[in-house]
Amino acid sequence: MASDLKQENNRSIFLIMAASLGVSAFFQFDLSSLSDVVEVLIAGSGGIVLSAVLVMLANLLPQGIKHKLIFTRIKDELPACRVNQVCKKDSRIEYELVEERWPQVFAVDIDGSTRNSRWYQQIYKSVKDKQEVLQAHRNFLLYRDAFSGLFLILLITLIWSLFGSSEIIGDIKPMVFWLQGALTALSLVAARTAGNRFVVNAVAAAE
């Protein structure tokens, strides 16, 4: 199921990364002359190809690494490890009721890995095909993989600025870093929010 949702998201991820590279090229090159416009068009064409490669790399990046980056945790990074905490913050959830219905999930004295496994087995599996859960899952995968791709773009840009030849595209302009940093940060926040919402939506759908 998750692989099907990822396939559905690939086009959107490609467009996000192509847009990032395209706007970066716009800021990098001076459009004061025709030759510079041609350079941007060439760079944009290369960016389309690079975007396709980055989509592939983003999909190959292990899920564990993506989740550790997004939730900035080394251990118990998945949001279901903290389902008891995120449910308390959602007004749709009557916490006392879910705590009573799934005591093995919402008990205070269990570790995050066990909580995540029990959430999956006792809650998520029974509602995984409901539309609100499917959509929340799709959104989480979209923002997670978009973040991975944008993070790779930012990392490649940084490495190029340190070790690449300035004769090819010149020194990387600060606005490019600002743009890519902002997009990466926004996608991280979106992925983290979508991950928490996915976990809570499953609980709400199972109530």
| Stretch 4-16: mean pLDDT | 74
User: pLDDT-based confidence at 118, cuts 50/70/90?
Assistant: very high
> Where residue 10 falls among pLDDT bands split at 50, 70, 90?
confident
Tell me the whole-structure pTM to 2 decimals. Answer: 0.82
DSSP the chain: -HHHHHHHHHHHHHHHHHHHHHHHHHHHS-TTSHHHHHHHHHHHHHHHHHHHHHHHHHHHS-HHHHHHHHHT-SSS-SGGGGHHHHHHT-TT--HHHHHHH-HHHH-TTS-HHHHHHHHIIIIIHHHTTSHHHHHHHHHHHHHHHHHHHHHHHHHHHHHHHHHS-HHHH-SPPHHHHHHHHHHHHHHHHHHHHHHHHHHHHHHHHH-
Question: In this structure, what token pair is assigned to residue 55?
Answer: 């989509």
Task: Out of 2-16, 34-48, 177-191, give the one with best mean pLDDT.
Answer: 177-191
pLDDT of residue 33: 44
Q: Hey, where are the domains in the chain? A: 2-206
Q: List the single range of 90-99, 101-110, 119-128, 164-173 with lowest mean pLDDT.
A: 164-173
Tokens of 94: 């009557």
Tokens of 124: 């998520």
